[in-house]
């Protein structure tokens, strides 16, 4: 017995997904406007605080000696393992950047803009001490690279194998919702072509 949704249900799902995407964009814009209005302003990608806020931040900074004295031993013990991950993360960064530079040009689909994902700016906060700034810069880089690589992999999956899994998969990327249903072979290659066409359309929109 087929468990694939009917065309009406598929259309409703597509409409709901489109609405969710719109609401997510609206929420992100509202949150950003609220933060900028209260805390800071962004000019040419540089965050600027008022003098009063900067002074308040400096008063909240915890000195290195006190910070180290109050740190838990288990947190300190984990530091070599955390920072040891910089090598594989940097290799992932290099590998995915090289991969998309070559393959995405061949596929004629838009390359993922690394600077949209790898954002390192928390080290500028005056209420963080030197170690906290280093930790924040490292976390921003590590999580940014993973998100960057994930989007590259997602576009590759949309190009080559845009089919949903039979079982529910946790943590799927945003493109997954538009993939083809598992076990639905009808018009498969034409549908794959349409999904590839969407990627090409993204490339054209990016160029404008």
Q: Tens of pLDDT along 82-93?
A: 999 999 999 999
| pLDDT of residue 206 exceeding 60 | no
Query: What mean pLDDT is reported for the chain?
Result: 83
Predicted local confidence at residue 162, as pLDDT:
94
Higher-pLDDT residue of 204 and 189 is 189
| pLDDT of residue 191 exceeding 80 | yes
Highest mean pLDDT among 23-32, 74-83, 150-159: 150-159
Stated as kind and residue range, the H or E segment containing 19 is helix 7-38
Which residues on adjacent β-strands are paired with residue 180?
163
pTM for the full predicted model: 0.76
For residues 116-133, one letter each, b for 16 or more C-beta atoms within 10 angstroms of the residue's C-beta and e for the rest, the string is: ebbeeeeeebbebbeebe
Report domain extents, the chain.
71-207
Residue 37: pLDDT band (50, 70, 90) is low
Give the integer Cα–Cα distance in Å for 102 and 75.
41
List the beta strands (DSSP E) in the chain.
Answer: 41-43, 46-48
């Amino acid at each position: 017995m087929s468990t694939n949704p009917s065309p009406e249900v598929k259309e409703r799902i597509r409409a709901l997904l489109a609405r969710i995407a719109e609401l997510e964009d609206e929420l992100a814009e509202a949150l950003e406007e609220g933060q900028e209005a209260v805390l800071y302003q962004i000019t040419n990608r540089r965050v600027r605080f008022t003098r009063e806020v900067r002074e308040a931040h400096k008063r909240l900074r915890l000195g290195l000696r006190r910070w180290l004295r109050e740190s838990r031993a288990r947190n300190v013990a984990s530091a070599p393992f955390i920072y040891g991950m910089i090598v594989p993360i940097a290799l992932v960064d290099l590998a995915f950047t090289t991969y998309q530079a070559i393959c995405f040009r061949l596929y004629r689909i838009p390359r993922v803009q690394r600077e949209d994902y790898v954002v390192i700016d928390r080290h500028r906060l005056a209420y963080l001490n030197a170690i906290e700034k280093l930790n924040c810069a490292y976390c921003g880089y590590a999580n940014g690279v993973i998100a960057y690589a994930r989007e590259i992999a997602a576009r590759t999956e949309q190009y080559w194998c845009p089919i949903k899994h039979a079982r529910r998969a946790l943590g799927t990327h945003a493109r997954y919702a538009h993939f083809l249903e598992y076990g639905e072979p009808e018009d498969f290659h034409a549908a794959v072509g349409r999904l590839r066409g969407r990627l090409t359309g993204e490339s054209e929109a990016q160029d404008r």
